[in-house]
Amino acid sequence: MDTILVVNAGSSSVKFQVFSIEGDGKLQRQIKGQMDGIGTRPRLRASGADGSPLADRAYPIEAVPDVPVAMGIAGDWLRNELRIIPIAVGHRVVHGGPDYDRPVLIDHGVVARLERLIALAPLHQPHNLATIRSVLAKFPTLPQVACFDTAFHRTHDAMADYYAIPHQLHAEGVRRYGFHGLSYEYIASTLPHVAPEVANGRVIVAHLGNGASMVALKDGRSVESTMGFTALDGLPMGTRPGQIDPGVVLYLISEKGMSAAAVQDFLYRDCGLKGLSGISNDMRELEASDDPRAILAIDYFLYRISLNAGMLAAALQGLDAFVFTAGIGEGSVRIRAGVAERLGWLGVALDPAENSRQARRISRSDSRVPVYVVPTDEELMIARHTLSLLSSRPSANPNHARVS
């Protein structure tokens, strides 16, 4: 069985999935796993496509010092115990910079170019690249593909990606990139099947998870996004504030004496729903609470989504459909209802019964703007890209790439 391994390496965990390539070229998810607790309590967990457990193992802290070692342990487990030897590896890479507008086959030159982008995504890019480098060293002939969170947004007009700062900084890379691109690309690829009548129109997609953003799609392409230079901008998130006056950052530094590292930690870990509620970053916990601060955090989340929807509708000069996706977007009846209510002026009319039963289309039949819930699948998108780049190589027989 030919398989593709999809890897998403974070700072203290590495998530992986295995897809088989079926006879008709379709990809079938076989395994989902992760090695987490790196540096604290390392643990390998994996399950089959049907959710059946395949592994749950703890490791001593010193046995898993970093993310590449964690990936090595997971790879050995796949190879030695499940006899899975992937023909290629697809990596989620957070930053492709201004130039990468699509996935790329990795070689040493690509790694060097991606290393130059570390300063733009210091929390994620080093872990993505460390894992790529270790696979490259261990299996030099195994094809690896980098799939970028930023690439899908490179269809923006230049205007959309400027900040009003001197040109030199823009040239250095201080510009708006947008993130969650693999999720949006997957949704854009699904819309022609789910909602063919609007797939080529003006669509806002709200990716509402722990990280949250929205994109404006025109004819399936990104024209504007709520995230910018980093994944801090735009909507409030689990622990990130979303849009915030840079003056607040200056205040934290000059009046509170915080260092750059402390401010970074604060903005990524202590703000958003967690900071505002003082209770949790987890939407399910907030929804279950009747504490006024939990209610405030939810209302703020809804308010900011509705403001940003107005901005994206302006970028699109109108709106033909609205799509919810990711953990909160796919799971929360209350958030979808709250957003829809605030978008009535744009022509959204929710069908509460369809919303409650988690239907694919949750708007009334007479809603001028139809509203959909579409589950996202970033890993499948990475596997698709990897397979497609593999097939387009000069020696297109995937068996040539097999490692033994």
Residues lying near ligand ADP in the complex (CB under 6 A) are found at: 209-211, 238, 282-284, 287, 326-328, 331-332
The C-alpha atoms of residue 282 and residue 350 are separated, in whole angstroms, by 25
Q: Alpha carbon of 141 to those of 80, 129, 138, 342, 400: distances in Å? A: 19, 17, 9, 53, 10
Q: Alpha carbon of 60 to those of 14, 38, 401: distances in Å? A: 17, 10, 34
Output the smallest distance, CB 211 to ligand ADP, in A. 4
The C-alpha atoms of residue 205 and residue 215 are separated, in whole angstroms, by 5
The one-letter amino acid at 34: Q
* Nearest residue to ligand ADP, scored by beta-carbon proximity: 327
What percent of the chain is helix, strand and coil (3-state, nearest 5)? 40, 20, 35
Output the smallest distance, CB 285 to ligand ADP, in A. 7
Q: Which is nearer to ligand ADP, 277 or 308 (CB)?
A: 277
Catalytically active residues are 149
Output the smallest distance, CB 56 to ligand ADP, in A. 20
Contact call for residues 245 and 224 (beta carbons, < 8 A): no
Output the smallest distance, CB 351 to ligand ADP, in A. 19
- Token pair for residue 86? 């992937």
Q: Which is nearer to ligand ADP, 69 or 214 (CB)?
A: 214
Contact call for residues 236 and 304 (beta carbons, < 8 A): yes
The C-alpha atoms of residue 91 and residue 88 are separated, in whole angstroms, by 10
Q: Which is nearer to ligand ADP, 211 or 275 (CB)?
A: 211
